[in-house]
Structure 1
Amino acid sequence: MALTLRSACATLEQAGLLREVITPAGWTLDMDGIEGADSPFTSITYDSKAIVPGTLMVCKGNFHERYLEGADDAGMAAYVAERDYGNATGAPGIIVDDATKALSLLAQEFHDHPERKLTVVGITGTKGKTTTAYFTHAILAAMSGNKAALFSSVDNCVDGVHYEESDLTTPESLDAVAMMAEAVRHGMEYLVMEVSSQAYKVNRVYGLHFDAAAFLNISPDHISPIEHPTFEDYLHCKRQIVRNTSALVLGIPGDYVPLLEQDAARAGVPVSTFSLTDPDATVSARAADPLHTAFAISVRGRHIGDLTLAMDGDFNIANAAAAIALADVVGIDVTDPRVLASLADVRISGRMEQTKDAHSDTIAIVDYAHNYASVKALLDFVDQRYGERHPSITLVTGSAGDKALDRRQEIVEAAQGRIDRFIFTQEDTNTEPHELICQQMSDFVTDPDVHKAIVLDRTQAIEQAVALARDTDGFSIILIIGKGEEKWIKDRNRHVPYEGDDMVVRRLFA
């Protein structure tokens, strides 16, 4: 059904968002008095530069009246906003309580609710979202004849074949719905998507219902004045997924599991669980060998097979168990041998990617670890796999600018006492200088036995780490975290081309 001024107002009124419609003739709630109220909008946008004849323009965020200069000449049919812009345009204005919520609902209406034509799986948690998304996508693709789409912080795929680099963990609501519509046109039956805390904070998934959702884990992250002011706010935003799904998959044990179970009970949402330690979980995994390279997978107490992944780490096995639980919830027969087979070869470039130096007893591990929990998990893996060799460990790291201020200290706290050397270097930033972030991280180092250096150029930082490892007697490990395979570094709001951590290591180690 086409989106019109009348139907848009009806949708917004039903959601409790509509205030009134403002036209040059006056303020009203009566659509019969507005010319063109039943004419379909030709497009919907939140970018005033994209206005074409018949466009519904949604004015959200830090929107300025000057952005509507020329909008009438461009053919804007109406606008949605939280205030009156009648001084800038003669088009009808749909005034709402929250423009971001309105955008999400109207995007779904404009594209004829593609989310209802897909089995949508959402994944949230502090760490493991991307890996779990890839594992879940692999299972659903294998079991559906490659009819599974993917929205992740690394890549998006809407046709089951082609992958494009993504900009956000969870796309803006209008962009996400448009991609869902494209997935439907390509014959996709499933969609797996990461859902960030910010997605709920800024209403990117407002009104979106998931057929199944996973809550992997929770630990402090993204705590800053411009993201989540407190951990309580961060957890509260992530918890919203529970009331917006038909079934919940929950990682156990966990400090906040009882609260999440209470959320699910109040919403009438059934809960499945996954675990590496609790054999009574819906999906459980236990190490089948001393080095934890193979794991026995059980579903409801029944052993369905052993699993060895292409990516190391117990946390990746936990992510695989979550993916199996999600597939089970949406009706996949997870006892089918194709399920475990589909997981065995999954690789994500830049995640737990190990490379051996051809010139010394050194390995490098490139990973996206970027907070306390993920850095601790990475070092736990190093201890488990290589601890007996007493390696000299260098950590090459930075931290994102303009957000997640807590990470700068927590990355250091997770690593000092467990490594021999920090090399602080550039990572992505909007406005903050790289040198300021690196100096802050360096100042958080309190262990006098840990060496530290600041090398702002990321390539040079890795080169220095390699040179130091080659000059060290014995076995060395270089951990390079935060960027993975990304071929750019965000510097003062510009995407500057970058070789990629993985490619720098391969070139130096060749």
Structure 2
Amino acid sequence: MMKLETALQILKEDHNFRAIVKDDHYYYQGETWDFRDLSYDSREVSEQTLFFAKGHQFKAEYLETAIQQGLKYYVSEVDYQVSIPVILVNDIKQAMSLVAMAFYDHPERKLKLLAFTGTKGKTTAAYFAFNILKEEAKPAMLSTMNSTLDGATFFKSQLTTPESLDLFAMMAQAVKNGRTHFIMEVSSQAYLVKRVYGLTFDVGVFLNISPDHIGPIEHPTYEDYFYHKRQLLANSRYVILNQQMNHIDFLLESIADKAHTAYGAGSPNSISQSSAFHFQLTGPLAGDYAIQLIGDFNQENALAAALACHRLGASPAAIKAGIAHTKVDGRMEVLSHPSGAKIFIDYAHNGDSLKKLIDTVAHYQTGKIALVLGATGNKGESRRKDFGLLLNDYPNVEVYLTADDPNYEDPEAISQEIASYIHRPVHIIPDRELAIQTILKQSYKPDDAIIIAGKGADAFQIVQGEKIPYPGDPQVVQNYL
């Protein structure tokens, strides 16, 4: 429960309060009123709900429906001139985040907060951190793949970083469940639309940066994408950076006055030797580590998570055990084809991650490579050209183009766009299950490889704005085999 006057004071302190308006009358204070719920869904309100009217598509008719359910106040950037008062603010997302923090009694102050950002690797690094911390502590985790607020029950998140009302409700539940740490993937969108406004992380890790998420409904430019990625550094007490990432000199200069460390080649924390399932570290965590996820990039993600958890108090023994136990569905999963060839299933969904994936597979499998790949609809449009141009560098890779969350676009048209940049014939099979079955039917030898990229273990396809059930790439492969 929270008093309206408390919420108003929070908005005023953030210089985000304009006025309370009803019937063209302006008020600086509201009536004495306690609310017991927060909502941004007009279908989920009562007379004890403080409602936030957000989004460019929001309509006054949504409020009329909510008023019939007893709604007394709403917070908005727009006066929809309905029969109840509006609390007018300059920025609805800032208002949501700060009010939610206070409403849930500041759960962020009762947890150690660890956040990962980067163009790729966030999920894998979060899984490494979760497995490390659970050796000695009680972590919760919000991840693109699976989330848990009690360490035992897992669920699929709708967004990489949830809306602030949901985020702080989840944090409060984690506190109630006795959790000690909270691990998050923080997307650039989270800062662009202020889902984590006002939140300070104990440790923030910046894994890498490459052009992605640039388009009409995402970031207008790479500069904007990079800027919003960097906001994690500004909002973390301690920062961990990949020494090999693009723009590292600029990044190090920007955090010169903040406690930080770097990892990777050229830093004190680096991988000195590695094989498929082991690597050795230098620096404070020096030693030999077992790992189930193959690829240099996965070892780097493990190192980043290790440093972050060590900063939060994890022992070297817990770090070694956590890394050794980590598996991630749909992330470098390796299955065997009846021919003896290896099938690699990975979430790689942009040019940079696809290049690393192909290079890693080619290192272990020296025969031919066949690839199933798609690109998302209505977002990340630049990936299509990136994929096509990249695959010209791998002329011996046989390419099968298919659907990958086509949304409101035609998956065949997306595939044709990718193909237009590839200087050799490719296969286009819009039905993803059929594409995977087709590639598995081909003849292979033991040193060959089949790569299925993009969806990973996602159990849906986004079509016409809806999540349509899909078995997930590993399940499709297993069903066929």
Q: When the two structures are superposed, what TM-score results if normalisation uses the length of structure 1?
A: 0.91
Q: 1:18: how far off?
A: 1.0
2: CA distance, partners of 1:312 / 1:473? 21
Aligned letter for 1:47?
Answer: D
Q: Relative to structure 1, is the Cα distance of residues 320 and 474 closer, same or farther in structure 2, using a 3 angstrom cutoff?
A: closer
2: CA distance, partners of 1:473 / 1:195? 41
- Provide the secondary structure at the position in 2 that maps to 1:132: helix
Aligned letter for 2:463?
Answer: D
In structure 1, the residue matched to 2:299 is 317
In structure 1, the residue matched to 2:433 is 459
In structure 2, the residue matched to 1:77 is 72
Structure 1 contact 396–425 (Cα < 8 Å) conserved? yes
In structure 1, the residue matched to 2:465 is 493
1: CA distance, partners of 2:94 / 2:410? 34
In structure 2, the residue matched to 1:46 is 40
2: CA distance, partners of 1:271 / 1:420? 41
Structure 1 contact 222–234 (Cα < 8 Å) conserved? yes
Match of 2:197 among 206, 215, 219: 206
1: CA distance, partners of 2:342 / 2:291? 19
Which piece of structure 1 moves more, 204-213 or 472-481? 472-481
- Provide the secondary structure at the position in 2 that maps to 1:161: coil
What CA deviation, in whole Å up to 9, does each residue of 1:446-478 have, x standing for no partner?
A: 2x3xx401101111101111122x1x5674211
In structure 2, the residue matched to 1:180 is 171
In structure 1, the residue matched to 2:351 is 372
In structure 1, the residue matched to 2:7 is 8
Structure 1 contact 294–306 (Cα < 8 Å) conserved? yes
Q: Relative to structure 1, is the Cα distance of residues 239 and 414 closer, same or farther in structure 2, using a 3 angstrom cutoff?
A: same
Q: 1:217: how far off?
A: 0.6
Alignment of 1:143-154 (within 5 A): 143-144=136-137, 147-154=138-145
- Provide the secondary structure at the position in 2 that maps to 1:217: coil
- Provide the secondary structure at the position in 1 that maps to 2:35: coil
In structure 2, the residue matched to 1:392 is 368
Q: 1:221: how far off?
A: 0.5
Structure 2 contact 125–302 (Cα < 8 Å) conserved? yes
2:162 counterpart of 1:171? yes
2: CA distance, partners of 1:338 / 1:48? 45
2: CA distance, partners of 1:262 / 1:57? 42
Alignment of 1:149-164 (within 5 A): 149-164=140-155
2: CA distance, partners of 1:22 / 1:76? 15
Aligned letter for 1:429?
Answer: P
2:293 counterpart of 1:349? no
1: CA distance, partners of 2:408 / 2:155? 26
- Provide the secondary structure at the position in 2 that maps to 1:184: helix
1: CA distance, partners of 2:12 / 2:386? 45
Q: Relative to structure 1, is the Cα distance of residues 474 and 349 closer, same or farther in structure 2, using a 3 angstrom cutoff?
A: closer
2: CA distance, partners of 1:338 / 1:191? 17
In structure 1, the residue matched to 2:236 is 245
2:477 counterpart of 1:477? no
2: CA distance, partners of 1:474 / 1:495? 37
Aligned letter for 2:401?
Answer: F
Aligned letter for 1:340?
Answer: K
Structure 1 contact 123–193 (Cα < 8 Å) conserved? yes
Aligned letter for 1:433?
Answer: D
In structure 2, the residue matched to 1:115 is 108
Q: Relative to structure 1, is the Cα distance of residues 272 and 474 closer, same or farther in structure 2, using a 3 angstrom cutoff?
A: closer
2: CA distance, partners of 1:231 / 1:495? 28
Q: 1:23: how far off?
A: 2.8
1: CA distance, partners of 2:446 / 2:143? 39
2: CA distance, partners of 1:477 / 1:229? 37
Aligned letter for 1:166?
Answer: S
What CA deviation, in whole Å up to 9, does each residue of 1:318-366 have, x standing for no partner?
A: 0010001101222333x3x2320121021001110111112x1422100
Q: 1:151: how far off?
A: 0.2
Q: 1:292: how far off?
A: 4.6
Match of 2:411 among 423, 431, 434: 434
Q: Percent identity?
A: 37
Aligned letter for 2:47?
Answer: P
- Provide the secondary structure at the position in 2 that maps to 1:232: helix
In structure 1, the residue matched to 2:389 is 413
Aligned letter for 1:311?
Answer: L
In structure 1, the residue matched to 2:248 is 257
In structure 1, the residue matched to 2:477 is 505
Which segments of 5 or more consecutive residues in structure 1 lack a partner in the other structure?
none
What CA deviation, in whole Å up to 9, does each residue of 1:276-316 have, x standing for no partner?
A: x22x42x322224xx4532112333x62x211211100101
- Provide the secondary structure at the position in 2 that maps to 1:440: helix
Structure 2 contact 43–65 (Cα < 8 Å) conserved? no
In structure 2, the residue matched to 1:425 is 402
2: CA distance, partners of 1:25 / 1:421? 66
What CA deviation, in whole Å up to 9, does each residue of 1:380-410 have, x standing for no partner?
A: 2123222xx3x21111011111100011111
Aligned letter for 2:99?
Answer: L
2:113 counterpart of 1:141? no
Aligned letter for 1:23?
Answer: K
Paired residue total? 479
Structure 2 contact 42–65 (Cα < 8 Å) conserved? no
Alignment of 1:277-356 (within 5 A): 277-278=265-266, 280-281=267-268, 283-288=269-274, 291-300=275-284, 303=286, 305-333=287-315, 335=316, 337-356=317-336
Structure 1 contact 41–77 (Cα < 8 Å) conserved? no
2: CA distance, partners of 1:462 / 1:178? 40
Q: 1:25: how far off?
A: 7.4
Structure 2 contact 201–236 (Cα < 8 Å) conserved? yes
Which segments of 5 or more consecutive residues in structure 2 lack a partner in the other structure?
none
- Provide the secondary structure at the position in 2 that maps to 1:444: coil
